[in-house]
Chain A
């Protein structure tokens, strides 16, 4: 039979990705030795749990927060009614960067990228009518993570929920902030101290809390390839684990609560392979490098989010399809928790309607598609198994390089990781501009139509409302107590005691995020990134 010529000379996964062969057969899986492990069994390639989604479905967790606590509380209750099984707080940038809403740098930012939280009072009101003992909450917070966790613990205490019972996650991953997300405040050394203080506090007091979510998502958003995302995330994970060990903690006392966060792009099979590869790699790293004994230390549990960068402003309804493919990648990749993006996110913060579609996408996959009926349904596919090996090998190459540079922190200080990602981002754009990477509705099948969606708008009055509330709080609280406790924060920061207890004391005195961060700034100073382009 006459063969049809192939459409192009070379087929690759996403830009800069792996070269893909025409067909895969068992001979592609002879080297390395085939991985025949079962789900729930070392190295956990297929799933961390033996029963997979037959036991427990992934947590459907929608990242959300805007305006003031009242508007966000309303959105949380709406999401809960619609069937989310976990909450995820988006904080506005001033809270993430340790400024109160009344700081000059906060002008225009109040309530925009997330909810405005200045004090414990805001945190208490955020959870009005929601019982913190019964929910699981993820907080995307990094430089100010210890302060916001302190507020969460204090707010729960007011509801008579003790910290041992609290379930959730703080992101608390500063290394990737220096690389990509950019909400650092302090330099790498004090940041590592705060991160490890929080982790050891949780290991001792909050057994159900994930004290860190080691994140590749933002590096991917910034342009990293799948292999780079996996490699740099694991390199950061190694750096955190080493820092904990250096602090004198036994690996099995903290590693079971390490959690991860990855992006899901649209290249379905590449993403699935990436998730399988990182699980296998982390298990080996924990066992072989860190000598972990507890299997839970070796399990890479992760949250996934469909990738924001891949969404288009043009023909935005198409984004529903992209999100579906990405959500399939995450769930076929055995994630523990998932956020699906809303189709209007290239235009604005999501509207209620768009959020509902995003959540329904997960529910349809979970309950109609059949993918949750058996564990790791794509396992055994010649291509997926081959690609899993290929990604693993690519990641190992990067890890060896980063090791030779002295670890992730050194590689970041040298600008190595940032430069790698920047180059990939630029190559991606060039590939889109040249048409090599097709983006439907943008560089192929484009139309002149402008989207007509009803978008969420943040009222300008929001800023005034928050400022009024903050000034009332600053007037009415016991300011003598506040200044005493802030002195104490400085003292503890200067010494080597764990920072968490004094932060809990400070937030209970209604010291604000900005005031507490300023006290820490007095001791730690501020970091300014070396600008690399």
Chain B
């Protein structure tokens, strides 16, 4: 895409410390040629929003395995959207029950990747979505 690297922010909102998935994805996206900022864990939605805007990222990946996703993910997206002028792509991951996924989609999280999803699927998803976006903006 325009020879520019895709910039991704990976972060863990809330108190959850399970960071294997977030770190594996950070490494995988980096190996796929993206620029990845891993912000770490125990972050508030406000802290993540500030970093996302400052770092001017294209994608924000949020991971939560503690069950607090409904309280944290939509709020983080909302805070970012308030200042976002580039239509950031949001993805989520963790232990997220099936019944919550439609609600997260409504909250503008494009896709939720649960356990067992191959890295390539996440990489392809991001690339496809961002390409579609660029093509749309050409119209």
Contact = CB atoms under 8 A, between A and B. Distances in A.
Interface centre among A94, A177, A529 (most CB of B within 10 A): A529
Contacts, number: 103
Interface centre among B15, B26, B39 (most CB of A within 10 A): B15
Interface in B58-100: 66-72, 95, 97-98
A112 B14 CA distance: 12
Contact of A93 (B66, B69, B70): B66
A182 B19 contact: yes
B116 A221 contact: no
**Interface SS majority for chain B:** mixed
A434 to B, nearest CB: 9
Interface string B17-28: 111100110111
**Interface SS majority for chain A:** loop
Contacts of B28: 426, 429
A97 B20 contact: no
Given A221-B20, A533-B23, A432 B15 contact: no
A109 B118 contact: no
B97 A347 contact: yes
Interface stretch (A243-251, A306-314, A481-489): A306-314
Contacts of B19: 182, 222
B3 interface: no
A183 interface: yes
A439 interface: yes
B95 A422 contact: no
Given A182-B42, A425-B24, A531-B40, A112 B66 contact: yes
Given A346-B95, A346-B115, A422-B27, A105 B66 contact: no
Interface of A: 93-94, 96-97, 99, 104-109, 112-113, 177, 181-183, 221-223, 309, 311-314, 346-349, 422, 425-426, 429-430, 432-433, 439, 442-443, 450, 455, 457-458, 529, 531, 533
22 contacts: A93-B66, A99-B15, A104-B44, A105-B15, A105-B42, A107-B72, A108-B14, A108-B71, A109-B14, A112-B66, A181-B17, A182-B18, A182-B19, A182-B42, A314-B116, A348-B95, A426-B27, A433-B120, A531-B38, A531-B39, A531-B40, A533-B36
